[in-house]
Amino acid sequence: MRAFRVTRPGPAAGGPLEPVDEPVPEPGPDELLVAVLACGVCRTDLHVAEGDLPVHRPGVVPGHEIVGQVERVGRDVTGFAPGDRVGIAWLRRTCGTCRYCRRGDENLCPASLYTGWDADGGYAEYATVPADYAHRLPGGYTDVELAPLLCAGIIGFHALRRAELPEGGRLGVYGFGGSAHLASQVALAQGATVHVMTRSPDARALALRLGAASAQGAADPPPEPLDAAILFAPAGELVPPALEALDRGGTLALAGIHLTDVPVLDYQRHLFQERSLRSVTSNTRADAREFLRIAGEHHLEVTTVPYPLDAAAAALADLAADRVTGAAVLVP
């Protein structure tokens, strides 16, 4: 099968991906073998490829927004059959027994493993997934549209929950890529007013078309105080202006797995009056199921830019240079 491996982590423009031709992987006893139909290109893939995240599996195949068709099932698998369409997301395994797993916070499991970081992912023609971590997919979407839902959508939904946006509240969204444009639509469907801060003129235009009340530069103040905000851009320098934009009691959620250094905060300007700063760590399978249910009930507009699998390096480079409006998706 064709695949791309991260053999030399470094800047996307320098070519950290190496094309390979290798045997189709064998599924384990509790796994599914999936033929990849589409795989989203997530900013986390960029962090893996560029070395922002530590290497967990040398030469890993990145990609964790995978839509595929089941080709084979492991001997211990029930509930899936060849021909089923399934989704593979970032969270791949947890221990199921630690105190975090037992209380429903499996995303905090110290033994958690991740697709495209600890195990080979979807920048390939085939991938495997533990059956317990494969997702049923909603109807009404193409394979390309479904792919970004499996991380960008899920983690954006989890970040929205972490931001504790009150009913009918005012949400600030910093950065407007694959995850932000989906989370914003969920917030709008729930009655929120959304203000978008992003450096990309094309992204600002998309935000307004999707229903945002305003769209301005990345560090510009929104036109009204915010009840909650989510920082999607991996830019620590945006934390102070985002906190300053919050109303009393507001919460800023940091949605990325990687963030550049945060400048020194001024307590009175940024945190006083019970403003909160919260990080976001992966998501649970319950988050994924709830988001995919919402996506099935409220059809989301998924803005995608398809690339052939052989153009995986170009897709990563375009993402790094902010040349992608919405979400890039690889199609084998």
Query: In the structure encoding, which two tokens stand for residue 25, read together?
Result: 């992987």
Find out whether 329 and 305 touch, Cβ atoms under 8 Å: yes
Pairwise CA distance, residues 203 & 197, whole Å: 9
Integer angstrom CA distances of residue 161 from 181, 232, 283, 287:
16, 14, 11, 10
The residues, ordered by sequence, that sit 6+ positions from 297 with a Cβ below 8 Å of its Cβ are none
In order of their start, the domains of the chain are: 2-151+283-331 (3.90.180.10), 154-279 (3.40.50.720)
Cα 53 off chain centre by:
15
Q: The pTM is what?
A: 0.91
- Among 199, 217, 215, which residue's Cα sits nearest to residue 207? 215
Q: Residue 19, Cα to own-chain centre: how many angstroms? A: 24
pLDDT in tens, 50-93: 999 999 999 999 999 999 999 999 999 999 999 999 999 999 99
Confidence of residue 326 (pLDDT cuts 50, 70, 90): confident
Q: What pLDDT does 256 receive?
A: 84
pLDDT at residue 147, rounded to an integer: 97
Q: Is the pLDDT of residue 325 over 90?
A: no
139-189: pLDDT as tens digits: 999 999 999 999 999 999 999 999 999 999 999 999 998 899 999 999 999
Residue 285 confidence class, pLDDT cut points 50, 70, 90: very high
At 10, the pLDDT band (50, 70, 90 cuts) reads very high
DSSP β-bridge partners for residue 304? 327
Q: pLDDT-derived band of residue 108, with 50, 70 and 90 as boundaries?
A: very high
How many Cα atoms are found within 13 Å in the side-chain-facing hemisphere of 323?
Answer: 10
**Contact status, residue 154 vs residue 288, Cβ threshold 8 Å:** yes
